[in-house]
A and B are shown apart, each in its own frame.
Chain A
Amino acid sequence: MARLKMQGCWSLVALLVVALILIQGVEGAKEKRKRPKKNTFIVNSAPINFSAPVSEAPALFTSTTYASVSAATPSATPPTTAFVPQSMLPQPTNWMNLVEPEAEVVGPLNGGGDTPLCANVVGLSAGQRKLCQLYLDHMPWVGRGARAGIAECQWQFRDHRWNCSTFQDASVMGPIHNIASREAAFTHAVGAAGVVHSVARACRDGSLSSCGCSRARRPRDLRRDWIWGGCGDNLEYGYKFTQGFVDVREREKTHKRGSREQGRQLMNLHNNEAGRRAVIKKTKVTCKCHGVSGSCSLITCWHQIAPFREIGDYLKDKYDGATEVRVNKRGRLQIKDPRFNMPTANDLLYLSESPNYCVKNLALGSMGTYGRPCNRTSHGLDGCNLLCCGRGYNTQKTTIRERCDCKFHWCCSVECRTCSRTLDIHTCK
């Protein structure tokens, strides 16, 4: 644990961790330092930002202790408001804005210095800008990860009223991020997951030379370390890097304890962590026997990263089961409804109800569902009834020509026939 040394810039992150310790108390910090340890962070250890007498294991909290906490201050929860003036909100920008200048960042790799690139990206916070300069070669991969996250978000929400639409500004996700809703929780998680996925992958194809050997048994000099015990998994590097880069923007600000801003900060940190853990949770372990004559007296195992779609599906499940929380006076999060189970570090949290996505409200960031195609026969969310919010739909008969009976040939060709068919397209009024 203590042996897992953070090097170089990690000391910067460590400073921020110290700041966090001041906010959250020593138990939380202990938990935090344990987390990057291989295998242990896969286990559902207690989330750090929960108000709880003991923060060791979630099983220790019973719903009764929780009920007593929230019963004591039932009226403290503010009523959910439908509209929050934008000026009050602290985060108009988003680091995911790195998606856009990605092409530029690939170019000059003059390693650190005060490159204008990092300064030009609007979405970055001060700490992130510093990390951007330090890890300039990581930025294309961070951008790629963010893009993958957004694409996954759009795929997962393709038949929801809110379809993860992006805006052409520094906020990327639009004003929707200002509301501490389930949707914001999902985007934070999927963005963090995208970066872990992308950085871990980049380590493995040799594009990032600074990926560390995660084993810290013999840390004096690396060469010996690598020869002595080999290098560990790069997933841990991806996890740590993302932890530093994504969480820094939440940690560099201090808010009044118990304020709504602080609650939002804790919520974002929690959801980022949930996203990172989703990548680790979805890895598969594969082993190979290579003992005498191929026997299993000697066996080596490794982690295999899951396709990002699988991680997206997992996070979507977590979105469906997200827990509503509120911030208490002590500056911790607690469950709003004590009947629900304690969320683990893998679960998503949100502070306020989602706005109405049926109608267009640009101030809120809702695009409305007008003009969205829907499925007339479906009873699910993509069904015309639900998607159009009861406004009804238009039907249009069209004939489309499409590829059919396709046969794929490695590597690069797909042989298809063209078929045409007539179908009804329904769009929301």
Chain B
Amino acid sequence: MAGAILENLSGRKLLVLVSILIISQISCFLIGGLIAPNPSSADIALASKCYDSGNNTDKWFYPRGKGQCHLLTQDDMKKLHMANQIVFAFQLPLPRDNMILDYSRWQQNLIGVLQFDIEYHEEALMAEKTLVTIDAKMAYRDKGDKDDDWKYYASSRETRTLECTMKEKKAGYYYSCSIVPLFELGSLHHDYYLLDLRLPVDDRSKMNNGLGQIVDIWLVAINQNGGFTKVWLSLKTTFFPIIVAIMIWFWNRVHQLNRPPALLEQMLLYLGCSLTFLNMPLEYLTLMFDMPYMPLIGDIRQGIFYASLLSFWLVFAGEHLMIQENENHSTLRAYWKHLSAVVIGCISLFVFDVCERGVQLKNPFYSIWVTSFGSNLALGFIILAGVSAGIYFLFLTYMIWQVFCNISTKRSSLPSMSGARRLHYEGVIYRFKFLMLATLVCAGMTVVGFILGQVSEGRWKWDEDIELEYTSAFFSGVYGMWNIYIFALIVLYSPSHKQWPQDAANIFAIADQQSMNEEIEFSRLPTEPSEISSLTSFARKTAVD
């Protein structure tokens, strides 16, 4: 690949372009921080204890609305004789401000986490690890349906481990128990949800025999905030056409050349395509259709994007090694050894994701982490992914180190080279350094932003009146940054018309001629990037002459 726009851009134009990109980056960050709310919020519901006179497992028990169940008080509970008679019912969402709220499809997903309030009693001691068996049933209802018109959504019998500890054992205090993730809904298509839980007891299989005195069960329902979805989607809808347009422009430009596209140009196109796939605002469809597989698609989109970005970096470093000359066309196949780490890492993460999210399509109560086999398997895949990420970064640093070694050897021999050759190498070095700088800045900002977010517990305050939602700002900022990064790459690394005259051989000949005479002057020329453009313009001038 010879003669990218980057080298031919004058310093001023480059400055203007870079500052426009930085301004749009800052605005992405501010849109997330000032307009968007927190990405998600939690609604905490206390279980209503409904009384089931028989064993009516088909009936729906709900605490509010017409036909509500008979509610039990703490004292009533002591008089019961079967554990199955208590149904812990959660009717979501909770009413507020004298209104019956309903879920909006903008809220995208729902994660349910259980918290047990278990009172300490000398009579009812609990082991540190207790298996809880939960019979869970879920129903939904839409606006306009009757109060009792609950429709079946999912049901399952799940076993979870409850870890309960207690520092000072005093009567009346609660065990501090771990939270129990119960379900994940990939789409929030309906308006109201109902969750009925039972904790059945069976002495033969020792089911729920180790439970202590459960006073209350809380359900923490976490959903994405509609405001965040709106801001996020509008970011996507803005970036989507821009990236598509710039890709078309880029590919046109490549095809105007009378040579097949180089590997790096192909890689840039792949990268653009994967980003377009990520940008595609598919979420609009969830407003119309029930798409529980949306989280899986989201993960896959993200995975493909990361895979192509990582491969691009590898290929980019490889293509700038400056060992082989541009005559023989390299293909992606030459990089199979390097790319296998990326492929293995991505595939193992994909398998893990399908195991978790894929099964959740069938059963929203499923979690791979519950059984020891499942969690070992999941851990295995994650470790495999981590190892391949480590190998990848070793590879990448090794290659970058090699490039830098080559650059220093080339630079020492630059003055003795012919003009065109020198221009070629100067260009290669400049392109490489520019990308290195941009990538390091982007990756560094992502990492620093992430760490800041973890340290500051997601909340930042600069002024009493300006509240910045840091988590949202981080998400939109990082999302905008990688879009802008790839936009800049496609623009700056597309082939330049200026440096590609009709007769390529001609320029070499002339440049060679010139170099004989002007060797001293060339050697005085600095190798700083910003000066390259003047250098190339000088070369062009001689060509015209």
**In the complex, how many angstroms separate the beta carbon of B193 from the nearest chain A beta carbon?**
13
Q: Could you say which of A7, A211, A228, A409 contacts B37, with CB atoms under 8 Å apart?
A: A228
Which residues of chain A come closer than 8 Å to B46, judged between CB atoms? 201, 204-206
Which residues of chain A come closer than 8 Å to B93, judged between CB atoms? 226
**In the complex, how many angstroms separate the beta carbon of B433 from the nearest chain A beta carbon?**
31
| Cβ-defined contact, A228 with B302, below 8 A | no
- Tell yes or no: A115 within 8 A of B by CB: no
Q: Could you say which of B39, B64, B107 contacts A206, with CB atoms under 8 Å apart?
A: B64
Per the 8 Å Cβ criterion, residues 381-429 of A in contact with B are: 406-414, 416
**In the complex, how many angstroms separate the beta carbon of A216 from the nearest chain B beta carbon?**
11
Per the 8 Å Cβ criterion, residues 289-339 of A in contact with B are: 290, 292-294, 296-304, 306-307, 309-310
| Cβ-defined contact, B123 with A300, below 8 A | no
| Cβ-defined contact, B83 with A411, below 8 A | yes
Report the bound CA distance from A413 to B123 in whole Å. Answer: 11
| Cβ-defined contact, B227 with A229, below 8 A | yes
- Tell yes or no: A120 within 8 A of B by CB: no
B-side interface mostly: mixed
| Cβ-defined contact, A296 with B201, below 8 A | no
- Tell yes or no: B512 within 8 A of A by CB: no
| Cβ-defined contact, B172 with A230, below 8 A | no
Which residues of chain B come closer than 8 Å to A290, judged between CB atoms? 40, 111, 222
Report the bound CA distance from A204 to B38 in whole Å. Answer: 21
Given A1-B464, A297-B450, verify A309-B170 contact (CB < 8 Å).
Answer: yes
**In the complex, how many angstroms separate the beta carbon of A135 from the nearest chain B beta carbon?**
11
| Cβ-defined contact, A229 with B211, below 8 A | no
| Cβ-defined contact, A412 with B99, below 8 A | no
Which among A230, A294, A298, A307 has the highest number of chain B CB atoms within 10 Å? A230
Beta-carbon nearest neighbor of A286 in chain B: B179
Which residues of chain A come closer than 8 Å to B374, judged between CB atoms? none
| Cβ-defined contact, B199 with A414, below 8 A | no
Which residues of chain A come closer than 8 Å to B464, judged between CB atoms? 1
| Cβ-defined contact, A411 with B97, below 8 A | no
Q: Could you say which of A215, A231, A294, A300 contacts B222, with CB atoms under 8 Å apart?
A: A300
| Cβ-defined contact, A410 with B83, below 8 A | yes
How many residues of B are in contact with the other chain, CB < 8 A? 83
Which residues of chain A come closer than 8 Å to B86, judged between CB atoms? 411
Beta-carbon nearest neighbor of A237 in chain B: B96
| Cβ-defined contact, B214 with A411, below 8 A | yes
Beta-carbon nearest neighbor of A302 in chain B: B42
Report the bound CA distance from A297 to B212 in whole Å. Answer: 35
**In the complex, how many angstroms separate the beta carbon of B45 from the nearest chain A beta carbon?**
6
A-side interface mostly: mixed
- Tell yes or no: A253 within 8 A of B by CB: no
| Cβ-defined contact, B106 with A288, below 8 A | no
Per the 8 Å Cβ criterion, residues 405-436 of B in contact with A are: none
Report the bound CA distance from A212 to B95 in whole Å. Answer: 9
**In the complex, how many angstroms separate the beta carbon of A83 from the nearest chain B beta carbon?**
37
| Cβ-defined contact, A227 with B104, below 8 A | yes
Given A228-B227, A230-B225, A411-B201, verify A406-B37 contact (CB < 8 Å).
Answer: no
Which residues of chain A come closer than 8 Å to B223, judged between CB atoms? 230
Which residues of chain A come closer than 8 Å to B181, judged between CB atoms? 288
Which residues of chain B come closer than 8 Å to A223, judged between CB atoms? 99, 101
**In the complex, how many angstroms separate the beta carbon of B307 from the nearest chain A beta carbon?**
14
Per the 8 Å Cβ criterion, residues 450-497 of B in contact with A are: 450, 454, 457-458, 464, 467, 471
**In the complex, how many angstroms separate the beta carbon of B197 from the nearest chain A beta carbon?**
12
* 0/1 interface trace, chain A 231-253, chain B, CB 8 Å (1 if under): 11110000000000000000000
- Tell yes or no: A361 within 8 A of B by CB: no
Which residues of chain B come closer than 8 Å to A294, judged between CB atoms? 356
Beta-carbon nearest neighbor of B125 in chain A: A408
- Tell yes or no: A19 within 8 A of B by CB: no
Report the bound CA distance from A284 to B226 in whole Å. Answer: 27
Could you list 20 A-B pairs, sorted by A, with CB under 8 Å? A206-B45, A206-B48, A209-B100, A210-B96, A212-B97, A213-B97, A222-B97, A222-B99, A227-B226, A228-B230, A230-B37, A230-B38, A230-B225, A286-B115, A293-B299, A296-B454, A298-B39, A298-B471, A302-B44, A309-B172
Known: A227-B104, A230-B37, A290-B111. 12 other contacts (CB 8 A): A205-B63, A206-B46, A206-B91, A217-B37, A228-B225, A231-B41, A234-B44, A286-B220, A288-B222, A298-B39, A406-B122, A413-B81
